[in-house]
Structure formats: structure tokens, C-alpha cells
Structure 1
Amino acid sequence: MTKLHMRRRTILAAAPVLVAAPYVARAQGKPEKTKVVLAVGGKSALYYLSLTIAETKGYFKEAGLDVEINDFQGGAKSLQALMGGSVDVVAGAYEHTIRMQQRGQDIVGFALIGRGMQLAIGLRNDVAAKVKGPADIKGMKFGVTAPGSQTHMLVNNWAAKGGLKPTDIVAIGVGAGASVVAAIEKGEVDGISQADPAVTILEDKKLIKIMVDTRTMKGNQELFGGPFPAACLYGQPELLKKTPNTAQALATAIVRADQWLQTASPADVAKAVPEAYLLGDRALYEKAFAAVRDTISPDGQMPAGGPENCLKFLAEGDPAIKPASIKLADTWTNEFAARAGKRS
């Protein structure tokens, strides 16, 4: 496995400290809006496990919500649905809050699912034999959930370390789960940037060689110098300002799921998800979950240094991101998750 050790200094010293916005001063009562439409991209991945648990364990219902979950091919599609107004909230990568602010459109994260990226880049074994470093992947095709999603950004970041531009590689949307395994088996892509359980299954089949791995907190420490906020709930500011009780109910359900996953046995987790999510191998699913458990947020709150690590990562792989112009404090509030923790 090629390890990209990055020595982190204190970064973006000028970046503002995250300060919780007073969104929920009156978020005490019943949800203002009980019917909520939520978008996610690749729900079957362990990356979004807390969302599935909140659904199957009834945490959304117990919080007074009827949540309709629309599962898109990838996170970029979910973001499009939010900005187009067809959904109320997204379970997606935190990094989108930064990318949208750069484009002049504010969205805010408020309940963390993953405190580690939980993704990996793998190359087909025949391809990996020719690759000594990221400079060698020029022109290769990578199976990502959807172009523009965090899986795509991880490949761009790796390519940049080899002096390549985003246009030097080809990102092909293959979704998540079984379609990822099929893309490698059929030789449709040279490599993948994906979440588990698909990555673990491909490893077990000895079909790929892992080149970059963020599925453990150790891997995140090596790559980013600390925690890396991944999946979370995010929405437009109006969701938090105009319907704070609804946002609170959503956060409460996710935090309960995060907490349940800290101590649940792998067997209980496998029983709690739809059968199709196991991709035909319950034992491997349980193994994959056990390996990534420590990347799941224990409390739904943004860890110190997380936003800065994410901004640095984005800037390294995308020249359009200008760190000096980003106000990280406007991309996140811990207020909802903190309140949820007090209630649990």
C-alpha cells in the first residue's frame, strides 16, 4: 500500500474558529415540518451507516419525523437536488459546504456521521503493477460514486500529489455497492475510489491493490494530520433558521444512531441494515464495519481541526478553492448535535 504521509503544520491560521450560530434558541418543541425529504448518494455504503440506522431503528419516527429518503448515485447528485429545491436536507460529504461557499451559495452542516473520510483508492492488480506513484495514473479511468462527489475529490487530490491536473484522469460514476464490484470485475475502470463494504469485498477477491486508505482514524491521521469530517447532515440556512425544531429532530436521530454504533456488535449492525447492503457476504460486511467503526462520529459534533483539514485537502486538489476567502464558521454549527447529546 502506498502511504501518503503528510506532515501537518498549523494550517490556515487566519481561518475563523467555528462558533455555533444561535439557530436553535427556540428549538424546544415539536418539529415545524414533520414530512422531510432527504437526499443521499450511495446509501448502502458504510459511509452513510448512521443514516440507515436512524431509519431502521425508528429514531426518525421517535423524533416526530416522517423522512422520505431519496438515494442518488452520488453526493454531487444529492447536492443538486438540495439546490434545486426538491429535497429539504442532504446526508452528504461536509466538503460540499466549503465548495458551495466558494461559489457564493451557503449551506450548513449540523450533524456529523463520519469523523474520518472512510474512503479508499484501489487499482486493479494488473494496473497497480505499473503504478509507482500518483504521477503514473495519468489517463486512467476511476470508478467514483458520481463525478463531483468526495470519492472523485479524493482521486483528484491523489493525482495532484503526482503533479497531475483533474483533467488528467477520467472519473466514471458507478454508484456504490454491487455496481462498484462489477465495474472492476468487468474491467470497465482501472481503479476505484469508494467506501466499504465494496472495497473490502474487492480486496477479499484479490481484485485490487489499495493505494490510499482512509478507512481508519490511523489512516486519516497519516493523510490529513487528524480527523477529517466526512458524511453529515447539511442543508440551506433557512432549514435551521425557519424550522429549527425539524433540524433538531433530524440531528437527534443521527446522534442516537452514531451513539448506538459505538457499541453495537458487527452482527447486530448487519441485522439492522437491508439484506441487499451485505452484498451477499454477511461475514465480510461485519468485518468491514468493525474496521471502520472508529471513523464514525461518537457524538455528531465537528471535531477540532476537522474543517481546516478538509479545506486544506480541497485546496490541494482543486485550484478553484481559495482558502483565504472561506469562512469555515459559516459552514458548520455544533449546536444541534450538542443539544441532541444532552437529550440522549
Structure 2
Amino acid sequence: MDAGKIDGVVGFHDHNIDLQGKGKSTEAVTQLLQVPGEVELCRTDVADQIKSPADWKGRGLGVTDIGSSTDFLTRYLAVRNGVQVDQIRESGVQAGNTFIAAMQHKNIDCGMTTEPTVSALLNSGQAKILLDMRTADGARAALGGVYPASSLYLSTDYATKHADTLQKLVNAFVKTMHWINAHTAEQIADQMPPDYYKGSASPPTSPHSRVKKASTPPTD
């Protein structure tokens, strides 16, 4: 969207703040999550040396990409725990197989990712959880509060000129959120395409690796 090739996207709410700072006017019209849904994993062989982000100094940390929301969160967690951003080494390793490979080759010590990558690494014993931000309590423990995450946001120009289309999009997302909140994690997972589980040996099954039931978005 920053390049003007698309009018809207589903992404973290914090991108709106970043884009506003760059002179790009965007606005979120549907909030899908009030927590990041991210997990900070550390390689099993170094997990006993890293008890919190305070131990990140000099460590290699994986993020989706530089400038991504996982990058923002990683930097915030470092500074919040007394580690300056120039004291960590971030690498953009995406998710799935590329994230797993980065851990296997020890290119990163810890990294932030989501399901099903989390389950794949936990089930194989290659990683342990340092921070779990898939729940409101987990987000508060790691970040100090909930963190508006996935949202539908668009350029303000498009939103202003296409109010009718925008309302249909919002209605569709709200209807989907109501469906999610009315069904179990297993029922939701059953609706996902096979590619969703790519990079995972099997669909998530443990209580800590199942698809999390969506939280009701904030109303304020």
C-alpha cells in the first residue's frame, strides 16, 4: 500500500501509526485482534541462558522482516527490558520453513512467529517458549497491556471515496468474527486450507498450539 499498488490490507494496526509518521494517511476500519498472537521462541540449546528479553544482548533474533510488526514488537521488548536496539541482531526470516531453517542452522537464537510454525518447533523439541502473546494475559505480561493487532486498514483516500464498498467489507469481516467466536478452535482449524499446515508435521493438537479462539475486538 505504501507504493500505491493496493488500496487496503489486513495487517497490524501499528502500521497505520508508522505510515502516518511517513506522511501516508491510512485508517483501520475493522479491528480483528486485540493481542498480537505472536510467540517468542528460543532454540532449545540456548533456552536455559535466555530467561527474558533482558538476556537478548548480543543475540540473533528472528522477525518476519525488517520494518514488520514483529520487528516493532521485538525492538520494544528489547528496550522495555533494558537492551538497546543496537545490542541485538535482527534477521528477516519470514515464517514456516524459512523460520525453522534459521533455527536449525543457528542463524537466530530466538524469534517471533505464529502458528503453525510454533507447533512445528515445539513438537520437534527444537524450541521453547520465552513469551506467549496469544492471549490477553500473555500480552499484558510481555508488553504491559493488550496490543491492537490484525486489522483491515485502507488509504484514507479510498475509504472516503468508496464508502459503500468499504461498508460491505466491514460487514463481511464482522460476520466472520461472529462465526469464529461461536465455534471451537477445532472447528475453525477444520475450515483452513491444507496449505495452512505447510511446514508443520500435523495440524496443531496440543492446548498450547491450537488455533486460538478469536477475542472480541475492542469497541472503543
Q: What TM-score do the two structures reach when normalised by structure 1?
A: 0.58
1:98 match? 17
What secondary structure is seen at the aligned counterpart in 2 of 1:288?
Answer: coil
1:187 aligns with one of 84, 106, 111: 106
2:182 aligns with one of 254, 263, 271: 263
CA, structure 1 residues 219+162, in 2 after alignment: closer, same or farther (shift >3 Å)?
closer
1:231 match? 150
2:135 aligns with one of 207, 211, 216: 216
2:168 match? 249
- Maintained 8 Å contact 1:266/1:287: no
Q: How large is the Cα RMSD of the aligned pairs?
A: 2.2
Q: Does 1:113 align with 2:28?
A: no
Matched to 2:117, the amino acid is: A
- Maintained 8 Å contact 1:91/1:233: yes
2:89 aligns with one of 163, 166, 170: 170
1:53 match? none
1:11 match? none
- Maintained 8 Å contact 2:77/2:143: no
CA, structure 1 residues 221+245, in 2 after alignment: closer, same or farther (shift >3 Å)?
same
- Residues 76-108 of structure 1, C-alpha deviation per residue, up to 9 Å, x if partnerless? xxxxxx021111111100011112223332210
What secondary structure is seen at the aligned counterpart in 2 of 1:257?
Answer: helix
- Maintained 8 Å contact 2:36/2:147: yes
Aligned length: 218
Greater mean deviation of Cα atoms: 131-140 or 280-289: 280-289
2:45 match? 126
Matched to 1:245, the amino acid is: D
- Maintained 8 Å contact 2:39/2:134: yes
Greater mean deviation of Cα atoms: 280-289 or 94-103: 280-289
Q: Which has the higher helix share?
A: 1
Q: Does 1:288 align with 2:173?
A: no
Matched to 2:201, the amino acid is: G
Cα distance in structure 2, aligned partners of 1:287 and 1:162: 25
2:55 match? 136
- Misfit runs of 4+, over 4 Å: none
Matched to 2:18, the amino acid is: R
Please, which runs of 5 or more residues in structure 2 have no aligned partner?
none
What secondary structure is seen at the aligned counterpart in 1 of 2:106?
Answer: coil
Matched to 1:110, the amino acid is: V
Deviation at 1:254, TM superposition (A): 1.4
CA, structure 1 residues 235+156, in 2 after alignment: closer, same or farther (shift >3 Å)?
same
Query: Among the aligned pairs, what percent are the same residue?
Result: 28
CA, structure 1 residues 224+133, in 2 after alignment: closer, same or farther (shift >3 Å)?
closer
Cα distance in structure 1, aligned partners of 2:39 and 2:102: 16
Cα distance in structure 2, aligned partners of 1:209 and 1:198: 12
Deviation at 1:229, TM superposition (A): 0.8
What secondary structure is seen at the aligned counterpart in 2 of 1:228?
Answer: coil
In the TM superposition, 1:317-332 aligns within 5 A as: none
Please, which runs of 5 or more residues in structure 1 have no aligned partner?
1-81, 305-344
- Maintained 8 Å contact 1:197/1:285: no
1:49 match? none
Matched to 1:228, the amino acid is: Y
Matched to 2:150, the amino acid is: A
Matched to 2:49, the amino acid is: K
Cα distance in structure 2, aligned partners of 1:126 and 1:280: 21
CA, structure 1 residues 204+221, in 2 after alignment: closer, same or farther (shift >3 Å)?
same
CA, structure 1 residues 131+266, in 2 after alignment: closer, same or farther (shift >3 Å)?
closer
What secondary structure is seen at the aligned counterpart in 2 of 1:282?
Answer: coil
